[in-house]
Structure formats: C-alpha cells, structure tokens
Amino acid sequence: NAGVMQNPRHLVRRRGQEARLRCSPMKGHSHVYWYRQLPEEGLKFMVYLQKENIIDESGMPKERFSAEFPKEGPSILRIQQVVRGDSAAYFCASSPKEGNQPQHFGDGTRLSIL
Amino acid sequence: GDSVTQMEGPVTLSEEAFLTINCTYTATGYPSLFWYVQYPGEGLQLLLKATKADDKGSNKGFEATYRKETTSFHLEKGSVQVSDSAVYFCALIRGSRLTFGEGTQLTVNP
C-alpha cells in the first residue's frame, strides 16, 4: 500500500538553475497539494491540483514557480532560476476527494541552493 | 484569514511525564482540526483529527478535544515515551487547504 512518493529526496542546485520536484499521490487519490517548509517554520500551502487542473494556486509565488498534474504521470513542481531563498523542504500531499479530508504527506524533497 | 497558534517550543520532558501542547485557532465557521507529527527527515503523519465542536480525536495515547468556545485543540498524552520525540503540528482545513501552526519540538529523555 504505497503512500505518497516524492523524488528526489534531496536536490542540490546552483543559483539560476531549474529544479523539478515530482510527486506521485497515493493510489486512488486524484487531489494533490504542495506545501513548503522553510527552516524553523511550519508548512505553508502553495498549490492544489486535480488531474490536468490547477484548483488553487494562491500560495504560489507569482514568478519562477509553476505546478502541473498531467493526465498521466506524477505531479511536478517546477522552480526556474532558483535563488538561495528557495532552499526549503517541499512536501506533497494527496487526498481521495476535496473538502475537509485528511491529507496524506510524502517524505518531502529537501532543496538546497548553492 | 485563518491562522493557527501553537505554544512555543522546544518542550523537553522525562519519560512517563504528562504532555500538553497548546493550540488555538482563528477561523470563520467550524473547520476540521488536525494534529500531525513529523519525525526527523520524514514527512508529516496524521496523528488525530476532529471534525466538529466537542469531538475528541485520539490515537496512540494522544488526545485532543475540539473546543469551540475557546477556539482550542490542545494535544495531551498521559505518559510520553522516548519514541514520541518529534515535531507536532496543529492544523485546520478550509476548502482543501491546510493551515499549520509553527510546530512544537518535543524531546523525551529516558
């Protein structure tokens, strides 16, 4: 019974490069959420997606960040032209339906910017 | 907007001590409330939940009661173990969006 799978677990990029973070939801879950955890802080909502649709991206920075959840394959969080301030742990969660449902989290991708 | 406030940490206890981690929230309506636990290097695991006023969530000896009158959801455990050492997050959900508190680091010493 595989849980939410994220890869890579650790990602190192130099300033100006692109970072791609992947998330495969739990089997049977069609709702995906991305959260960011900055050092010594709680998690902050970034974006909520269903298959092929972005439902709520109000937590996403306006520039350089994008997310998708294609019909086939994992959800992707993409950060272009990374800067030091992007260093954080990025967590993906999934749920079987929307609403006040518990979300199940992956182990996260720890992004470090040199 | 919605917000969650947790007691500041870190919290250090001896094994078998009583644990309370305070959590209060600000929100319109009656959101569902959760406690999540994060072990080092891992993601968040759902610990317990409550969906309406006066509900008590419980799991693994942990309990929390949804108090509408005080807008609180304090986490308690009667006797902590070393294996309970982790970061605990209180959260509420609205429209599929979780809002978390800042987290409370708990260390339990043998």
- The tens digit of pLDDT for each residue in A9-24 reads 999 999 999 999 999 9
Structure-block tokens of residue A66: 């994008």
The whole-number pLDDT of residue B84 equals 97
Local confidence band at A42 (pLDDT 50, 70, 90 cut-offs): confident
Mutate to test the interface with A, among B7, B32, B34, B44 (most CBs of A within 10 A): B44
Residue B73: is it exposed, middle or buried by C-beta count within 10 angstroms (0-12/13-18/19+)?
Answer: buried
Q: Which residues contact B101 (CB under 8 A, 6 or more apart)?
A: A42, B4, B5, B6, B23, B89, B90, B91
- The tens digit of pLDDT for each residue in A55-105 reads 999 999 999 999 999 999 999 999 999 999 999 999 999 998 777 778 999
Contacts of A45 in chain B (CB under 8 A): 97-99
Task: For chain A, positions 51-70, list CB contacts with chain B under 8 A.
Answer: 55-56, 59
The whole-number pLDDT of residue A39 equals 82
Q: Is the pLDDT of residue A41 over 90?
A: no
The whole-number pLDDT of residue A102 equals 84
- The tens digit of pLDDT for each residue in B9-65 reads 899 999 999 999 999 999 988 899 999 999 988 889 999 999 999 999 999 999 999
- Region A43-55: mean pLDDT is 93
Write down the mean pLDDT value for chain B.
94
Q: Where are the beta strands (DSSP E) in B22-103?
A: 23-26, 32-38, 44-50, 56-59, 62-65, 75-77, 86-94, 97-100
A25 touches chain B (CB under 8 A): no
B87 touches chain A (CB under 8 A): no
The whole-number pLDDT of residue A45 equals 94
Structure-block tokens of residue B29: 């309506």
Local confidence band at A8 (pLDDT 50, 70, 90 cut-offs): very high
A100 touches chain B (CB under 8 A): yes
Q: Match 């677990």 to its residue by tokens.
A: A9
Beta bridge partners of A93: A33, A105
Question: Shortest Cα distance from A100 to chain B (angstroms)?
Answer: 6
Contact by Cβ (8 Å): A37, B41 = no
Cβ pair A56:B95 closer than 8 A = yes
B51 touches chain A (CB under 8 A): yes
Q: Is the pLDDT of residue A1 over 70?
A: no
